[in-house]
Amino acid sequence: DIVMTQSPLSLSVTPGEPASISCRSSQSLLYSNGYNYLDWYLQKPGQSPQLLIYLASNRASGVPDRFSGSGSGTDFTLKISRVEAEDVGVYYCMQAVEIPRTFGPGTKVDIK
Amino acid sequence: EVQVVESGGGLVQPGRSLRLSCTTSGFTFGDYAMSWFRQSPGKGPEWLSVIRSKAYGESIEYAASVRGRFTISRDDSTSIAYLQMSYLKTEDTALYYCTRDIDRGSAANWGLGTLVTVS
């Protein structure tokens, strides 16, 4: 199985400031079609996970443009350009290049 | 608006069975793969199974932890996906989510989940 790691595991951010989360995979997530099958999800407190970014850099429907994803192969980054209070929760990366899909351990983001 | 609603959870004894349902609306169900995930308290999500669309032969995959015990299925005529769970173990206790998948397997829409307690 592909092992996903994330750093940091927790992050405390001042509103209006940027934030960045790193995700690494034990194998390349670059598929033969040229796409990287890496997703980012946010699970807000008491809620279900929601898709933020798919194919490493595509924002899901309704996701604010302050969220952006980048990276290729085994190294990926989620950036929040200006953190807002509603962005608190646990961020997970997940690989979808092969079965079983596997998640990173999560990064807990809170507001200073 | 896409809606995904899980149901069928509850308290069940070890070794018994339970069938979860995933009722959907707001999209052409037959065009999409559907997956099941679960999440134990305080832990991250765990992918369990996927059933692809008819265009992909309704192919099915399972996580090793549930293979041979859980069975995924779909009914395109009613837009419902199912997860038949047999030989339940205490470690199967979790909140179970159904998702509509896009592309190769991104879980685009999640329901609120249905709680399964095996005790």
Nearest Cα to Cα of residue A112 among A13, A20, A8, A10: A13
pLDDT reported for residue B91: 97
Q: And the tokens for B39?
A: 């999440």
How many Å is the Cα radius of gyration of chain B? 13
What pLDDT is recorded for position B104?
A: 79
Q: Do B5 and B22 contact (CB within 8 A), yes or no?
A: yes
**Which chain A residues are closer than 8 Å to B111 by Cβ?**
48
Q: Which residues touch B118 (CB under 8 Å, ≥6 apart)?
A: B12, B13, B14, B88, B89, B90, B91, B92, B93
Instruction: Give the residue from B61, B106, B109, B112 with the most A CB atoms within 10 Å of its CB, the best one to mutate.
Output: B106
The confidence score (pLDDT) of residue A62 equals: 95
B 43-102 near A (Cβ less than 8 A): 44-47, 50, 61, 63-64, 97, 102
Element (H, E) at A82: none
Query: φ, ψ for residue A60 (rounded to 5)?
Result: -75, 165
Q: Which tens digits make up the pLDDT trace of A42-77?
A: 999 999 999 999 999 999 999 999 999 999 999 999
All residues of chain B having their beta carbon less than 8 Å from the beta carbon of residue A49 are: 45, 97, 107, 110
pLDDT digits (tens, 9 = 90+) for B21-57: 999 999 999 999 999 999 999 999 999 999 999 999 9
Q: Nearest-CA distance from B91 to chain A in Å?
A: 18
The answer to whether A55 contacts B103, with C-beta atoms less than 8 Å apart, is: yes
pLDDT, tens only, A69-105: 999 999 999 999 999 999 999 999 999 999 999 999 9
